[in-house]
């Protein structure tokens, strides 16, 4: 078999199938339908004259032949990928690329203004599209290239994802100015006595604050639970509710800030990208911009 008779894309598929051990998931990563991958695998089976993957309860398990060639295939793909990015020098001033970023509304609020300010100052043609992708879809979307980067809590783990800590914020409590009970400081008893706003993208389950309180044998009353950070400030303005939030956000609101009367772990955000984008100049450039934006807080 000669190389010029083989579709080199089949090796890309081989790499993904080997990682996923599942043709349906491999298809999602490759942005194809399941039968397309099934057919491609058949073509690859012809090339190697071997089954390459056999179905069993653990998924599509590689044959010894597949195990033998995977390392070389990956090495070759890495080299090809590298030469591809070498050739294309990324010029942020000329590229019209659209970056797709997954982040929640808090990250959007905190990071987009400094990021976009810098982009416009450089009169760059780069466009940004932000939408939140849930954690179970994140790895797939980053792998397929639908997403370039994601910002999330340090919970997402996958061998193919790269990550770097982006920011770390301690929490404070806010109430409206002229709140009848809360003055400059509050005790833990006062904190518990207040009714609270809680922000969480999940529909139920204990949050950060409540887990910390539980450890001390305490609990608080949550009057309203909402999914987005940016609705809470207006709720606080119009009620006597309290809200526990990252300090960097609190500083940007016209609300009374009081220090928490108990220890609470920081809120950490990580930046995620797929390992195939690690050497990509555009991706690397945007990572640096986001890290710079995060450090300006």
Binding region for DNA (CB under 7 A): 7, 9, 22-24, 32-36, 38-43, 55-57, 59-60
Cα angle, residue 188 at apex, residues 183 and 190 outer, rounded to 5°: 50
Distance CA 222, CA 103 (A): 25
Cβ proximity to DNA: between 40 and 197 the closer is: 40
Rounded to the nearest whole angstrom, what is the least distance from the CB of residue 128 to DNA in the complex?
A: 27
**Cβ atoms of residues 207 and 264 within 8 Å:** no
Distance CA 289, CA 198 (A): 31
Cβ proximity to DNA: between 23 and 143 the closer is: 23
Cβ proximity to DNA: between 11 and 243 the closer is: 11
Tokens representing 29? Answer: 């990563």
Rounded to the nearest whole angstrom, what is the least distance from the CB of residue 269 to DNA in the complex?
A: 31
Q: Give the CA distances from residue 256 to residues 175, 242, 259, in Å, rounded to whole numbers and listed in that order.
A: 5, 10, 10
Contact partners, residue 76, CB within 8 Å, separation at least 6: 11
Cβ proximity to DNA: between 59 and 114 the closer is: 59
Cβ proximity to DNA: between 12 and 257 the closer is: 12
Rounded to the nearest whole angstrom, what is the least distance from the CB of residue 21 to DNA in the complex?
A: 7
Residues written for the chain: 297
Rounded to the nearest whole angstrom, what is the least distance from the CB of residue 46 to DNA in the complex?
A: 10
Rounded to the nearest whole angstrom, what is the least distance from the CB of residue 55 to DNA in the complex?
A: 5
């Amino acid at each position: 078999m000669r190389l010029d008779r083989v579709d080199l894309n089949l090796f890309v598929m081989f790499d993904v199938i080997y990682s996923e051990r599942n043709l349906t998931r491999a298809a999602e990563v490759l942005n194809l339908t399941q039968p397309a991958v099934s057919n491609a695998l058949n073509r690859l089976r012809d090339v190697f004259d071997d089954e390459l993957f056999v179905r069993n309860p653990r998924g599509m398990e590689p044959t010894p032949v597949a195990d033998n060639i995977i390392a070389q295939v990956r090495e070759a793909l890495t080299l090809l990928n590298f030469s591809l990015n070498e050739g294309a020098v990324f010029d942020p001033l000329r590229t019209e690329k659209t970056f797709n970023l997954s982040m929640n509304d808090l990250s959007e609020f905190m990071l987009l203004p400094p990021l976009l300010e810098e982009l416009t100052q450089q009169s760059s043609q780069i466009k940004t599209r932000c939408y939140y992708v849930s954690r179970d879809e994140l790895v797939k979307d980053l792998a397929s290239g639908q997403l370039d980067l994601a910002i999330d809590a340090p919970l997402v783990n996958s061998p193919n994802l790269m990550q770097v800590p982006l920011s770390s914020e301690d929490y404070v409590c806010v109430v409206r100015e002229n709140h009848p009970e809360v003055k400059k400081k509050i005790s833990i008893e006062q904190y518990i006595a207040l009714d609270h706003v809680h922000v969480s993208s999940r529909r139920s389950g204990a949050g950060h604050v409540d887990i910390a309180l539980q450890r001390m044998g305490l609990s608080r009353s949550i009057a309203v639970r909402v999914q987005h950070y940016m609705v809470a400030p207006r709720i606080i303005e119009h009620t006597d509710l309290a809200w526990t939030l990252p300090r960097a956000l609190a500083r940007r609101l016209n609300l009374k800030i009081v220090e928490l009367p108990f220890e609470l772990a920081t809120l950490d955000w990580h930046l995620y990208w797929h390992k195939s984008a690690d050497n990509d100049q555009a991706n690397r450039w945007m990572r640096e911009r986001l890290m710079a934006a995060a450090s300006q807080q």
